Amino acid sequence: MGRATAAHLAGEGYLVYAASRTPHKLEGLHVHIIPLRIDITDPASIQKALSEIEQVDVLINNAGYGLVATVEEVTEEEMLSQFDVNVFGVMRMCKAVIPKMRVQGSGVIINISSFLGKIGLPLLTSYNASKYAVEGITDSLRYELRDFGIRVHSVMPGFFDTSFARENLVTNEMTFAERSPYAQMVSALAPVIVAQINSGNDASEVAEMIHAIIEDDNAPARQTAGDKARKFIPMRRELSDEDFERRVRAYYGLEQY
């Protein structure tokens, strides 16, 4: 999604600073894309990269990964790492950019969240929690920054055909072991989730949505992208917690677990 968005905005004439731990992969992508080496878990790395950029009009917080683990089996290191990237990374980037925007009196911050920031799924508890947190950050920042002319939005994608399932899923060893008490659930659910991700929507949909948010001063606080998000988020709003849970359990065949 980040790559598609960078390319799309560059094609529309934006000067894009594309932050990555592997900026060489972005070299030559577009004349208007300037790769930046940033590790969002390292405040010094963020400050160094941004120190040479005088003006920032738009910040898109897109970096993240998914941890697949049960709460019983997840390690302390895995929990902390999930939040360090998905939550604290967002806050670090906002913290670094907000002063520039505040002085300018304008700016747009777009947090790439997930439809799983509004609904839970088993095995993805840490990821769910991190995206719920991103939604909370977005809500609070909208109050904090409104008087400075800074807009804050979130995009909640469903499943998209990106490198997320192939490269950005981290699995807990115990959860995927045959001796795990959750082995039956894992064997039934994990392949379904991965298949849905790999057959999901095209990332260009998110890129176009982000562009529209940037251009529209009256864009809504949050928007959904992709088939799964458009299916589940309205359902979540309409049903009681218990009825929604029953629908999800039936959809993913979880009644027996």
Catalytic residues: 127
DSSP structure string for 160-198: BSSSHHHHSEEE-TTTTSTT-TTHHHHHHHHHHHHHHHH
What does the buried/exposed string (b/e) look like for 80-89 if buried means 16 or more CB atoms within 10 Å of the residue's CB? ebbeebbbbb
Angle between helices 89-104 and 125-145 (to 10 degrees): 10
Determine the residue type at 38.
I
Write out the two tokens for 197. 């991700």
Closest CA relative to residue 17, chosen from 34, 40, 31, 5: 34
Q: Residue 247 CB: number of other CB atoms within 10 A?
A: 14
* Cβ-based burial of 38 (10 A; exposed 0-12, middle 13-18, buried ≥19): buried
User: Hey, which residues does 59 pair with through a beta bridge?
Assistant: 109
Q: Please, how many CA atoms are within 13 Å of residue 193, restricted to the half-sphere of its CB?
A: 20
Distance CA 211, CA 209 (A): 5
Angle between helices 241-251 and 227-238 (to 10 degrees): 150
